[in-house]
Amino acid sequence: MSRRSGGFVVLEGIEGAGKSTQLERLGRRLAAAGAEVVRTREPGGTGAGERIRELLLDPALGDIAAETELLLIFAARAEHLHRVIRPALQRGAWVLSDRFTDASFAYQGAGRRLGMERVEVLEAWLQGGLRPDLVLVFDVPVRVGLERALARGKRDRIEGEDVAFFERAREAYRTRAGRDADRYRLIDGTPDPETVERAVERIWNDWLADRSG
């Protein structure tokens, strides 16, 4: 499948890292340059995916088995891949996703302590060889991220987890980013959005230059 005119870019990070803000800004820049841009998110991105998202984030759901949570997320991801991501890539669009499978490694593999092997099995089965071309990981201290999330209003079911859960998730993100410097970029998400945006722009331009070279 040729994707020279577009690509699959994922923005990752714990709650309050600023990834959603930067996704919108990057999307606007690409659209202004004349590219087709598909902005999406996980869990979500499709009708079924958004229903699953509502369920997973609803505090009224309470505690469910970690395996159930992981499988629900991959069910939403299957729809996302089938109906949004693969078709967009096939027609040469840029797909910008607010989270993808790295979030499952971070939140369920590490945060829920399910281990990475179970996530890897589901990833290989569902995605085959498809991986994001670029993963931007926005890194903030857990307490900073949670303070930002709390300032947005009522906490969802995931945001209500304890600090230790998010510390494990953050460390998993940092570890994964450190293992693959070709596809991952770790970005300090603590400054103001404009400073972070400038960092993203520098990384993006360098990445595009390397990609075209």
* 49 annotated binding-site participant: no
Domain coordinates in residue numbering, the chain: 7-212
The verdict on whether residue 44 carries a ligand-binding annotation is: no
Q: How confident is the model over 40-90, as pLDDT tens digits?
A: 999 999 999 999 999 999 999 989 999 999 999 999 999 999 999 999 999
Contacts of 23 (CB under 8 A, 6+ apart): 11, 39, 96, 97, 98
Cα angle 4, 5, 8 (rounded to 5 degrees) comes to 80
**89-121 confidence digits (pLDDT tens):** 999 999 999 999 999 999 999 999 999 999 999
Query: Model pTM?
Result: 0.94
Per the annotation, does 20 bind a ligand?
yes
**1, pLDDT greater than 50:** no
Residue where the block lists tokens 């997973």: 56
Q: Is residue 19 annotated as involved in ligand binding?
A: yes
| CA distances from residue 50 to 38, 43, 127 in whole angstroms, order as listed | 16, 7, 20
92 is in an annotated binding site: no
pLDDT at 19: 97
pLDDT tens readout for residues 3-53: 447 999 999 999 999 999 999 999 999 999 999 999 999 999 999 999 999
Q: Is 199 annotated as a binding residue?
A: no
Domain 7-212 has CATH 3.40.50.300: yes
